[in-house]
Structure 1
Amino acid sequence: MSTTFEDPRKPAGFSPEDIGRIQAHAKLAPGEIAIGVVIGRTSEYFDFFVFGIACVLVFPAVFFPFESPLDAMLLAFAIFSLAFIARPIGTTLFMSFQRRWSRGTKLTIALFLLGSSTAGMAFLPGYTIIGSWAIGLLAFFRILQGIALGGSWDGLPSLLALNTPPERRGWYAMLGQLSAPIGFMIASALFLFLHTQLNHQDFIDWGWRYPFFVAFAINVVALFARLRLVVTEEYTHAMEERALEPIGIFDMLQRQGYNIFLGAFAALASYALFHLVSIFPLSWISLGTTQSINQVLTVQIAGAVVGILGIIASGIIADRIGRRTMLGTAAVLIGVFALFAPLLLGGNKLAQDTFILVGFLLLGLSYGQAAGSVTSNFEIHLRYTGAALTSDFAWLIGAAFAPLVALGLSSRFGLVAVSVYLLSGVACTLIALRVNRALAERE
């Protein structure tokens, strides 16, 4: 049983003989797997960021016109969290689909459900037309998004981790994480274009619907890109050779269930920061008067570029100092950043832009290696299911309620609530890393 994080110098769970045998049979190049990971996950992040941005710019006026701007945004963020609650349910459901049919069938159903539920939101009438049914349908489609995202797990990140050279594990681990800032950048750029080209009434009436239509098209492209790998004989052979197949959820929990939560908490600082630099600043600034929505979106697009650079840097650094050290160091930096968060976000335009740009840099450095806590804590035959569930719970615990909690508490107690939220994530990460090390030393 392995409870250690992957050492970049030694593949976890394999002897030198195992590595030689696997490399001799593997036909999929790490670069090819990485491309599949980036394309597939970018579509998923795009869907979720389109919804998150709309929670600030659109949903308060369209679905909650009867509330104040602040309360309407809080209600939208409550619906935002539903997908993360539903995600583990989707993982469990679609794992059974894969055991009964195939990985390709499961992925096809999941991505069509994800694209359809996202596009379905584009057709929703507002509250003024159908009343509370509009809110109920929005919540229903959001839950379907979460179920679909849980079902879209294809095991490519785990396969990538097991197919990379030992000295380059940090580099290849970060490639799949590039999907997050890329998806956010595309979603923000699309909303920025529509928001600048349309007057406010046209944007609220029909302009906001276009990103949701685009999401369906992107999901179709991503589906074929992923199926190109998933249904090939080489991919199937590689997955079976490494025992990357779904097992029963209850069996998983009985054998190494503690590793799911250990892995989720080990990356919690990164996940706590995720929506606090992407969605929350847009909501906080939009309720104030320091700068316009278009200015914030422009800075956040620049922030996404900074985040990409941070993720790339994390791969280089992790290969030199180790992934666990990288996660711990990034968590400490996030803790320092948290202390200055109220001063920056509550300041003038320059201070707020600094919060966004520095936040994205730290997000890149931490999130770039967050997948290491997902792929390396489990016995090999448990890794496929364990990685999926660990990711689900990391998002649920760390990121699902971040915009709701941060905005709700900050509006009542001030921006110090952001500091407390981030510091709690940092504490959880450092404790989980210490527990992981203690378990490794004991074994």
Structure 2
Amino acid sequence: MEIKKDKTLSRVVGASLIGSTIEWYDFFLYGVVAGIVFNKLYFPADDPIVSTLLAYATFAVGFIARPVGGLIFGHFGDKIGRKSMLITSLGIMGGSTVLIALVPTYNQIGIWAPICLLILRILQGIGLGGEWGGAVLMTFEHAPLKKRGLYASLPQIGLSIGLLLSSGVVGVLSSTLSDSQFMSWGWRTAFALSSILIFLGLWIRLNVSESPEFKKVKESNVESNMPIKDMWKNNTGNVLAGMGARYIDGVFFNVMGVFSITYLTNSLDLSRTEALLGVSAAAFVMCFFIPIFGHVSDRFGRTRTYLIGSLVTGLSALPAFWIMSNSNGSTLVIWLALIIPLGIFYSSVYGPEAAFLQSYSRLQSGTQECLSYINFPEFSLVV
């Protein structure tokens, strides 16, 4: 029986990790090319700064759409099941990414080019909103009680692997193709590759069992008729607190992992390939430190780990950019200024984050391990 539970847990962790990797690859691929491709091909303007700002504005729209996706998929995840919603979110995310590879440029179809990008970016955000909460929830609910910090951090590695893949793929294409080849069709290849990842992810997720806590609720016939309504009625404070806690994660990561690429290439004249390699190196280091800090939260407490990690991470941003701007062109110094704050400090926030939000909500709701499904729908963490 114990062996069967271990196999089930391993399969759930593997499926959650691979699924989140695919989702984050798709999501961050847009950000990686926004400031080096989309600003030129889809948002042309007399001022390059305006073009870049417009390109990043559509990137930001994906984050605005994430809570919407969390609400939609969380509601139906509580009604229908986590597994089916995870499969659906993967299809939406992957499908919209592949379609981005096919969108004609501004010179070809005019204003419809950025409009199409905007619509597909919204779909990406909705898909990721349903993915993140569902993936960590599935792992958290399958994991042993004393190791939930560690196991809930494993799907989080998908963020670092996804960033590593997206920046790595674009870096390889950028270094092996001429600039004209990269700008005409090379970047589209990176988006088209998502089609392979989609089929892999769907095949794995179709072979994963439903969450045991969801099954328990279904069998007990105590499920809510309207989870989204009950969530806002009974847990408004928890949801708002969860949204606030995620600011340090979302803002810091996108400044260091996405904006830094444009900053290094446009302001410090670092080559596109070197900037992408620096971010890729930080993402590689992050793969190891995320589960380390997830385990630390099991030993020393979720709140303490998250609080200290947030303070250190937030305070490291300005010194990191100061070091980059005063590096005298040293690529190694610039890379270290990315790797240490993004690869290590940020992991102290993102590693324990899923378990921290889960545990906090359950504690505030006055329960111990098995919180009532009505009081804690999965989407309360997705924002």
TM range (shorter): 0.7 to 0.9
- Which residue matches 1:239? 214
Any idea what the Cα deviations from partners look like across 1:280-326, whole Å, max 9, x if unmatched? 11011111244211111112111111111221321332222111111
By how many angstroms is 1:385 displaced?
5.8
- Which residue matches 2:348? 365
By how many angstroms is 1:242 displaced?
5.7
Q: Once superposed, what is the RMSD of the aligned Cα atoms?
A: 2.7
- Which residue matches 1:418? none
- Within 1, Cα distance between the matches of 2:19 and 2:8? 17
- Within 1, Cα distance between the matches of 2:233 and 2:182? 51
- Contact 1:311–1:364 (8 Å) recurs in 2: yes
- Contact 1:323–1:372 (8 Å) recurs in 2: yes
Any idea what the Cα deviations from partners look like across 1:163-218, whole Å, max 9, x if unmatched? 33333222212211111110111111110111011111111111110111111221
- Which residue matches 1:395? none
Q: 1:267 to 1:105 in 2, by over 3 A?
A: closer
Any idea what the Cα deviations from partners look like across 1:338-360, whole Å, max 9, x if unmatched? 34134223222344322211122
- Within 1, Cα distance between the matches of 2:82 and 2:152? 22
- Which residue matches 2:379? 388
One-letter amino acid of the counterpart of residue 332, structure 1: L
- Within 1, Cα distance between the matches of 2:246 and 2:76? 29
Q: 1:384 to 1:86 in 2, by over 3 A?
A: farther
- Give the 5 Å matches for 1:79-90: 79-90=58-69
- Which residue matches 1:77? 56
Q: 1:287 to 1:383 in 2, by over 3 A?
A: farther
Q: 1:307 to 1:320 in 2, by over 3 A?
A: same
- Within 2, Cα distance between the matches of 1:260 and 1:62? 39
- Give the 5 Å matches for 1:394-405: none
Aligned pair count reads: 366
- Which residue matches 1:319? 298
- Which residue matches 2:244? 265
Q: TM-score scaled by structure 2?
A: 0.87
Does the alignment pair 1:54 with 2:29?
Answer: no
- Within 2, Cα distance between the matches of 1:324 and 1:61? 44
- Contact 1:43–1:183 (8 Å) recurs in 2: yes
- Give the 5 Å matches for 1:137-152: 137-152=116-131
- Within 2, Cα distance between the matches of 1:187 and 1:67? 29
Q: TM-score scaled by structure 1?
A: 0.76
- Which residue matches 1:275? 254
Q: 1:169 to 1:108 in 2, by over 3 A?
A: closer
Aligned partner of residue 125 in structure 1, secondary structure:
coil
- Within 1, Cα distance between the matches of 2:75 and 2:147? 34
- Which residue matches 1:132? 111
Which moves more between the two structures, 251-260 or 168-177?
A: 168-177
By how many angstroms is 1:368 displaced?
0.5
Any idea what the Cα deviations from partners look like across 1:4-32, whole Å, max 9, x if unmatched? xxxxxxxxxxxxxxxxxxx9996864333
One-letter amino acid of the counterpart of residue 259, structure 2: F
- Within 1, Cα distance between the matches of 2:21 and 2:58? 22
- Within 1, Cα distance between the matches of 2:238 and 2:172? 43
- Give the 5 Å matches for 1:43-442: 43-95=22-74, 97=76, 103-152=82-131, 155-229=134-208, 232=209, 235=210, 237-241=212-216, 247-348=226-327, 349=330, 350-360=332-342, 361-376=344-359, 377-378=361-362, 379=365, 380-382=371-373, 386-392=377-383
One-letter amino acid of the counterpart of residue 83, structure 1: G
- Contact 1:375–1:383 (8 Å) recurs in 2: no
- Contact 1:249–1:385 (8 Å) recurs in 2: no
- Which residue matches 1:426? none
- Which residue matches 2:368? none
Q: 1:32 to 1:24 in 2, by over 3 A?
A: closer
Runs (5+) with no aligned partner, structure 2: 366-370
Q: 1:180 to 1:383 in 2, by over 3 A?
A: farther
One-letter amino acid of the counterpart of residue 87, structure 1: R
- Contact 1:245–1:385 (8 Å) recurs in 2: no
Moved over 6 A (4+): 23-28, 243-246
Q: 1:78 to 1:389 in 2, by over 3 A?
A: farther
- Contact 2:170–2:187 (8 Å) recurs in 1: yes
By how many angstroms is 1:249 displaced?
1.2
